[in-house]
A and B are shown apart, each in its own frame.
Chain A
Amino acid sequence: MEDQPPKPIKELIWFSLISTSIKLLLLPSYHSTDFEVHRNWLAITNSLPLSHWYSDTTSPWTLDYPPFFAYFELFLSLFAAKIDPTIVNLHEGLNYKADSVVYFQRITVIVFDFVLHYAIYRITRKLDSTKRRLIWVLVIWSPALLIVDHMHFQYNGFLLGLLLISISALMEGRDLMGGFFFAVLLCFKHLFAVAAPVYFVYLLRHYCRGGLIKGFGRLLMMGLAVVVVFAAAFGPFVYHDQMLQVIHRMFPFGRGLCHAFWAPNFWVFYIMADKLLAFFLRRVGFNVHRPTGSFTSGLVGDSSPFAVLPQVTPLMTFMMVLLAISPCLIKAWKNPRPRKIARWIAYAYSCGFVFGWHVHEKATLHFLIPLAINAVDSINDARHYFLVSIVSCYSLFPLLFESREYPIKVTLLLLHCILMWFGFSIFSESIPTNSKKDLQKKNDELRAEEDQGISEKGSLGIGWIYKSYLLGLVAVELWGQFLHPFILGNKLPFLPLMLVSVYSAFGIMYSWIWQLKWIILYS
């Protein structure tokens, strides 16, 4: 009994409680307007009849998530009303900042994070213990999730938990359940729909097979499951004749191509190219008109915000995303394999992030977390994940702009780097041999080496390009935080943020290409 390793579930509880303690400590930290957004939704769902949920305009933060999320808020508001009725008061609750509301909302996020922890447990329970723990470190102690959910404020942990449950079901071959949970997820947050083509093709080819009749029957089953979910979500709104309003709210294409802070994606390069071209053309003597619109708030149909390059429309971005996903769809069509599905889904979200319309930097979580599932499969995966995780966590830094939280986000990222570095480097030693015996042998060797003070062999061995890129990240941060205010003062205030965007965009694009390559070569 003495030499028994602790039971996985006990260990998982330990991991998740450690992160819970930290989340509790972070409770008084800065929160963004998203906090008030969610508070307003509590008030809307609690005090208005269902037919008015999507047409209320008391606060500018109108309900723009699908109905399940509204029901979810309704459920939470039942407790909120008991704790402090002001929270759910539509008018008096506006910008309510009392301890009660902060504690209540923060704690709901913490509590619903357990969905994520359960999901990651489902995915990892069959893995060997070291891999399992590494994945837990990556997901449960993810600094990106902490920053977005527990400081900035959102419910991503809960939603990603649903996604991971769906993925784990697919990986186990329980396709119906996987499809069901994905449909549920879509009715919570429609931004997850980027992976819908992958789901569709995969389920069609993997679940609906085995002859025409059986396949058709299964297709009907799956269709039924999805329809039931959507009916439960949207049915009441159809009944109240609110569907158009709901859809209008859910897809606000009136927003610009980029968010206020440019998410580090393809469009950053597009914009930069446009600026540079316009600059040089003007130098050469062409009469280039100055764009009147801006990228971030320009309405569709207004004059193009671009000086030289063609205007980008939502439809174009949609087609580009679809085009980018297509290699993965083809692979999924030809050979639908449960072991690959997590990568395909992560890739689909990467495409959505890189080419999507009005992408928010928080959307990096959509591929960062699913990627973690495969991060410990091989040394190359580990290397890739090491980079992408640092870059995307770094690109979330501008979310917390107050100086009080500055040391916290830096410490979080540093700690994450060190843990990944340790975890992955030791792991790389045992990768080539999967059997336990070999593992032990390897470790004996490792120990022998350590005795001689050599531990380099076990290191991640990232190349000089990686290293210099990561050093560049430090340089960008130093420039933005310290050098820029000293050297340029208040001039060019947008420059530091722009540098963060552009620089991180290189890392994200690399990750996208790396994933694409992997899918084409190994799937």
Chain B
Amino acid sequence: MGSKKERKVIIIDQNDKNPWWWLLNKGFGALFLCISLFALLVRLAVSLHPYSGAGNPPKFGDFEAQRHWMEITTNLPVKEWYHNSTANDLSYWGLDYPPLTAYQSYVHGIFLKSFLPESVSLFTSRGHESYLGKLLMRWTVLSSDILVFLPAVFYFALSYSASRPRRHQSDVAWLVAMILLNPCLIVIDHGHFQFVLTHQVYVIFQFNCISLGLTIGAVAAIISSRELVACALFTLALSHKQMSAYFAPAFFSHLLGRCLKRRNPFLEVSKLALVVIGTFAVVWWPYLHSKEAFLEVLARLAPFERGIYEDYVANFWCTTSILIKWKKLFDNQSLRLISLVATVSTCLPSMVQQIKDPSNKGFLYALLNSSFSFYLFSFQVHEKSILLPLLPASLLALEEPLVFRWLTHFGLFSMFPLLCRDRLVLAYIALLSLFYLLFYAPRKKDSGKIRSFITFKLLVMSLLVFCSFVLHVVYMVMNPPKRYPFLFEAIIMSVCFSQFVWLALYTNTKQWLLHKQPTSLEKDKKLR
């Protein structure tokens, strides 16, 4: 087991003070190899745990959805993938992600077919749950992790450290560990797999590593100033999961801001637009021959017939519905409009900041802020969407360790009821403790900045952590009162929501204060 390399550390001649010097002087590649092997081990171990929906006919769960897509894509021609027909019953786990997901299912389906044809045969394979079938499915996730997510993080780490030469290698190593060992992503991709409620069927989130990996790649490209690459990668991410749109405002405003600073803004913008449109055209090609086919796919992606929220998700609509019955006050149509306005208006400040003053650091904050807006205010959000704000938060872990820790803690906590139902409590505990252990790994302290809060703040925070701990126990041990069967879910949701709002406010402020910092630095210089 060896995660150790992630600790920060140091310069070699201080080896006695730096617990990890022996791992660090082999170069970054070796270090990365070590961390990713450990991350791989953790993923493998998590995949031993049950996935929900197993042995739960007739619809099973996310696992079955993924498998079903492999079945559809390997057996039908491309044009019929999104088309309701006798061979493709869309009400049984119809494809509801953009074409790149379908292509990915196709490739994985071929992989499954070569080992176990009956696991993806049309019709007869529904609910297929053999030992080998499950194993192969797990390996498809794992291979996407290795092929997409790991290289993307590697690319990010390289461009990040290049942009901040003063950072110690050990800091970057720690950052990589934080991104790769994010408990939320691991538990959703490798543990959860699928999830069914009696009344509603949720979209699955599995294979997040692909779209998140593509997004990380795009972020890395932006940091290393390769805007065209970034556009292409982000377009791919969008064509894999429409949820990547959570990041779109940040990408858009940052790139626009950059272009505006150049000599020929119009030319720059059209170059980028060309790349975006080109990439889209390639990915969507099979569905572009007619307007109908294209709209058919689009209709599958936007499930507006569902309500504004489902279940207990810690966002604005769901939490306030305890007091205000949104669903009764407005019809679905106007709710859609309201949520759109709310989302756009809340991410507007961070967009404006980026257009005015684009910077790498500001861009990371903007990613975080826009995904927060979407998570808190957009239509039809699922618990698992917390992964999207978490991604930029983990990229910012070195700048904002506290925000990152807090968001991970409460993000994971907000999924606790979901994971509890999936019998993943054990994995939850182990992953959370692993996260905290790595976060506080023994290392040389380069400064006490992480710990420099006021005592009052510390007190409130410990109180909150304690509360969440108690709630965990209560949720598992106690039965809710008969009158309010979802009382505990509602409490967990409100606690998490309050924390998310607080964090979103904090990071928005932080982003706006960014451009002021250089001035204070200049002042310092003058004083000296």
Give me the interface of A with B, judged by CB distance under 8 Å: 2-6, 10-11, 14, 17-22, 24-29, 103, 128-130, 133-134, 137, 141, 143, 146, 403-404, 407-408, 411-412, 414-416, 418-419, 422-423, 425-427, 436, 439-440, 443-444, 446-447, 450, 455, 458
Contact = CB atoms under 8 A, between A and B. Distances in A.
Interface string B442-460: 1011011000000000000
B22 A130 contact: yes
Nearest to B438: A18
B433 interface: yes
Interface residues of B, number: 52
B48 interface: yes
Contacts of B437: 14, 17-18, 21
A418 B37 contact: yes
A18 B23 CA distance: 17
Contacts of A128: 16
A423 B26 contact: no
The 4 closest A-B pairs by CB, nearest first: A25-B45, A24-B430, A426-B22, A21-B434
Given A14-B437, A419-B2, A28 B48 contact: yes
A143 B45 CA distance: 14
B38 interface: yes
B33 interface: yes
Interface in B1-58: 1-4, 11-13, 15-17, 19, 21-23, 25-27, 30, 33-34, 37-38, 40-42, 44-46, 48-50
Contact of A10 (B42, B135, B442): B442
5 contacts: A3-B17, A28-B49, A137-B2, A412-B1, A436-B16
A423 B22 contact: yes
Interface of B: 1-4, 11-13, 15-17, 19, 21-23, 25-27, 30, 33-34, 37-38, 40-42, 44-46, 48-50, 131-132, 135, 139, 142, 426-427, 429-431, 433-434, 437-438, 440-442, 444-445, 447-448
Nearest to A405: B48
A6 B441 CA distance: 10
Contacts of A450: 12, 25
Contacts of A14: 437, 440-442
B26 A422 contact: yes
A141 B1 contact: yes
Contacts of A419: 2, 4, 23, 34
**Chain B facing A: main interface SS:** helix
B34 A415 contact: yes
Contacts of A414: 37
A389 to B, nearest CB: 14
A27 B45 CA distance: 9
A433 to B, nearest CB: 13
A130 B41 contact: no
Contacts of A141: 1-2
B191 to A, nearest CB: 10
Name, among A21, A26, A427, the residue most crowded by chain B CB atoms within 10 Å (CB to CB). A21
Name, among A129, A407, A412, A422, the residue most crowded by chain B CB atoms within 10 Å (CB to CB). A422
Contacts of B445: 2
Contacts of B13: 440, 443-444, 447
B1 A146 contact: yes
A34 B259 CA distance: 67
Contacts of B30: 418, 422
A143 B21 CA distance: 22
B441 A422 contact: no
Contacts of B426: 24-25, 27-28, 103
Given A25-B427, A422-B26, A19 B44 contact: no
Nearest to A132: B19
Nearest to B139: A407
Given A5-B17, A6-B442, A407 B44 contact: yes
Contacts of B48: 25-26, 28-29, 404, 408
Given A25-B430, A411-B37, A415-B41, A129 B46 contact: no
Contacts of A20: 433
Contact of A416 (B2, B44, B444): B2
A423 B25 CA distance: 10
B135 A415 contact: no
